[in-house]
Amino acid sequence: LKIVVLISGTGSNLRALLEALRSARTNETPILAEVVAIGTDRDDANLALAEEFGIPHFVVRPKDFADRTSWGDALLAEIQRYEPDLTILSGFMRLVPPAVVEALSPNLVNTHPAYLPEFPGAHAVRDAIEAGVSETGASIIVVDNGVDTGPIIERRRIPVEPGDDEASLHERIKIVERELLIGTVTRVATGDLNLKECERA
Ligand code: GRF
């Protein structure tokens, strides 16, 4: 399974995926999946990861394009150069333009730090803290043209602990996001999960 991963930030979830794939290779239970390229929308994303793991990478910056559509077309062209079977948004903080969704989905997934459809959008963890809920969650979904509205592949409940702030809660959520991410990649790679079926769900 050839995977392209898009990040915008620290890429800690991507690191977890890369390490899981690497360790699966070494302990004879290979997950038949490989990250073939890492892409981002900005110069300050953690592309050191690409260097560290020896993976090609690309930067497609919105500010270099006249509009979202042309940015999206350039992003799609870069992704398609690697002919991925699956594209993962892992902390990618941009809405993917319709042409990109159209071309890649349902083999286009995103992890989100909430129990969707609760707390969609870019500030899910902060919103959960501010809402004072006793539990939130983590989700992995197929990306559609909405904001975190696509078919849910899997989601898990995560408790909010007394004294949690956004950072402590987000770290706890990311641990589960990584499990969802690695689990989904494994299930798609083994054919146990067909993302086209999620679309119909
Ligand atoms: C993750 O919680 C992801 O769901 C959200 O941003 C965070 C990215 O963290 N969109 P990292 O860049 O993988 O550390």
**What's the pLDDT at 155?**
98
Q: Name residues contacting ligand 1 (CB within 6 A).
A: 7, 9-14, 90-91, 111-113, 174, 177
Strand partners, 57: 38
b (16+ CB within 10 A) / e for 68-105: eeebbbbbbebbeebebebbbbbbbebbbbeebbebbb
Q: What is the pLDDT of residue 200?
A: 60
94 is in an annotated binding site: yes
CB-based burial label for 51 (10 Å; 0-12, 13-18, 19+): exposed
Q: Any idea which residues carry the catalytic annotation?
A: 112
| 120 preceded by a cis bond (ω within 30 of 0) | no
Q: How many residues does the chain have?
A: 201
Low-confidence ranges of the chain (pLDDT < 70): 200-201
Mean pLDDT of the chain: 95
Q: Is 107 annotated as a binding residue?
A: no
Q: Using CA atoms of 11, 12, 16, 18 in order, give the dihedral in degrees to the nearest 10.
A: 30
- Give tens-digit pLDDT for 116-164: 999 999 999 999 999 999 999 999 999 999 999 999 999 999 999 999 9
